[in-house]
Structure 1
Amino acid sequence: MTALLQARDLRLAFGGLKAADGIDLDVEAGEFLAIIGPNGAGKTTFINMTTGYLKPQGGTIAFEGKPILGLSPRRIVGLGVARSFQLPQLFTEHTVLQNVALAVAAREGVWSVLTPLLRPRFRDEAAELIARFGLTRITDVRADALNEGARKLVDIAMAVALRPRLLLMDEPTSGVAAAEKMAIVETLVRVLREAGVTAVFVEHDMEVVGRFADRVAVWGQGKIAALGPPSRILNDPEVQRTVIGIAPNGGAHAAA
């Protein structure tokens, strides 16, 4: 069976920095794949190439067996690939309901800022999705008044409103308070699994990775250094040394 997403020999350099140096990766339908690695390893670059924000200098990317390399971000979304950002991309002057309604309307090809806020069917679908994320209490709160955890969930709710089959998330827990982190990830994983959405997520919190990922891909200097189940990858001495920051003697040090 063909993988949902197939990347082959992706290459991209910024000057002398190789952000992608022969990346080969299959993402299987239904899985949650975590991408980990030190800063500058090329993790976000992979997401940007997959979603059309960057074009690699070599290689191929296919979604459901069809090439998507070179397509615009909007066209890739239309094929069923969505993303969320490290910094949530919200309309700060609008409420949570209005933000999600705008995403619902965009999926239907309506790009006017006013029309989605007036059509009951867009608002009704947005309200149902907000409830699935457990955010009903903040439906009428403006986005600029939300804490970081709520902003992250609204950003992902907007991505889910596009009805993707694949969602790529860039550090969904960055900036989120430690006390909120697990509850937020549990919510988004539940909603995505209920909707049958495959997920790829860049993450620095190894507890989140170990608890929620089906597989882990380790990025290093534009290459995939290791790939496998969390139980094996997170206990690999080299991964612990270079990514997690555990020295061979069991002590901690700063990862590169």
Structure 2
Amino acid sequence: MSVLLEARGLRLAFGGVKAADGIDLAVMRGEFLAIIGPNGAGKTTFINMTTGYLRPQGGSIHYDGEEITGLAPRAIVKRGIGRSFQLPQLFTEHTVLQNAALAIAARRGVWQPFAPLLSVGVIDEARELLSRFGLDGIRESRADTLNEGARKLADIAMAVALRPRLLLMDEPTSGVAASEKMAVVETLARVLREAEVTAVFVEHDMDVVERFSDRVAVWSQGRILALGPPGEVLRDPEVLREVIGVAAPHA
């Protein structure tokens, strides 16, 4: 696999707190990379720098061979990088279908809020997109009536509507009921792999990380503590102790 995204020596501090302290990371094309670590370790800061919401004080970010350090979020989206947030960013007063249609219209460069909804092409694409996410049955429901699992899927469907080649997700299972988590992530993984979208996701549920990631990057105090396959990283004694918060089993 070739490198799609590469961070080189990223540095960013808020006062005396180092949110990024020399981050070097290469994301390979087609992989699912999980980012784990304690609160305040710098995980979301990395996503924010990559998607243009924060500018690093040092280092650089390269995407598909082009430097994108400090570009505005809209410019980064146009280059093929999508983003979903910990809290779904939906138009709550609109239906799921309308939300998807608005995202598709934005990708096509149509900025009048309601004109796109009259376009058969946009509506058909929105229906097809929601079908891929298993949301056919709720497409006429208002976003503010959905449970958290459905809201997460609808939110990420809007990000996928922009046709990214790389999608960064900040805690895609946050707030989702334990009984729904695996089904939600299975749907996300299926849709993204079918669309050949590379995914980077921050996650706290280690069962989700172990089951769905190809590699795991462990953040600690603005640095990468460990990087590798989940079966290896999640059994590392230092990771178990410092990040997951359990003692390593005795040999």
TM over 0.5: yes
Structure 1: how far apart are the matches of 2:145 and 2:122? 23
TM-score, length of structure 1 as denominator length: 0.96
Tell me which amino acid in the other structure corresponds to 2:129. Answer: L
2:32 aligns with: 32
Number of residue pairs matched? 250
The answer to whether the 8 Å contact 2:4/2:63 transfers is yes
Q: Name the SS for the 2:3 alignment partner.
A: coil
Structure 2: how far apart are the matches of 1:177 and 1:146? 13
Tell me which amino acid in the other structure corresponds to 2:40. Answer: G
Displacement after TM superposition at 1:109 (Å): 1.2
The answer to whether the 8 Å contact 1:132/1:191 transfers is yes
Q: Name the SS for the 2:94 alignment partner.
A: coil
Structure 2: how far apart are the matches of 1:95 and 1:116? 14
2:196 aligns with: 196
2:244 aligns with: 244
2:161 aligns with: 161
Structure 2: how far apart are the matches of 1:209 and 1:240? 14
The answer to whether the 8 Å contact 1:214/1:229 transfers is yes
Tell me which amino acid in the other structure corresponds to 1:8. Answer: R
1:140 aligns with: 140
> How many percent identity over aligned positions?
74
Q: Name the SS for the 1:113 alignment partner.
A: coil
1:3 aligns with: 3
Displacement after TM superposition at 1:248 (Å): 4.0
The answer to whether the 8 Å contact 1:2/1:65 transfers is no
Structure 1: how far apart are the matches of 2:100 and 2:120? 13
Runs of 4 or more off by more than 3 Å in structure 1?
A: none
Correspondence 1:81 to 2:81? yes
Q: Deviation per CA, 1:32-70, whole angstroms, max 9, x where unpaired? A: 000000000000000000000000001100110001112
Displacement after TM superposition at 1:112 (Å): 2.1
1:226 aligns with: 226
The answer to whether the 8 Å contact 1:37/1:220 transfers is yes
Displacement after TM superposition at 1:245 (Å): 1.6
Structure 2: how far apart are the matches of 1:249 and 1:216? 21
2:106 aligns with: 106
For structure 2, which runs of at least 5 residues remain unmatched after alignment? none
Tell me which amino acid in the other structure corresponds to 2:9. Answer: D
The answer to whether the 8 Å contact 2:2/2:29 transfers is no
Q: Deviation per CA, 1:130-174, whole angstroms, max 9, x where unpaired? A: 000000000100000001000000000000000000000000000
1:180 aligns with: 180
Q: Deviation per CA, 1:42-100, whole angstroms, max 9, x where unpaired? A: 00000000000000001100110001112110110000000000000000000000001
1:18 aligns with: 18
2:119 aligns with: 119
- Give RMSD over aligned pairs: 1.0
Displacement after TM superposition at 1:205 (Å): 0.2
1:210 aligns with: 210
Q: Name the SS for the 1:52 alignment partner.
A: coil
Q: Name the SS for the 2:19 alignment partner.
A: strand
Q: Name the SS for the 1:82 alignment partner.
A: strand
Displacement after TM superposition at 1:249 (Å): 5.6
Displacement after TM superposition at 1:199 (Å): 0.1
The answer to whether the 8 Å contact 1:2/1:64 transfers is no
Displacement after TM superposition at 1:2 (Å): 4.9
1:254 aligns with: none
Q: Name the SS for the 1:4 alignment partner.
A: strand
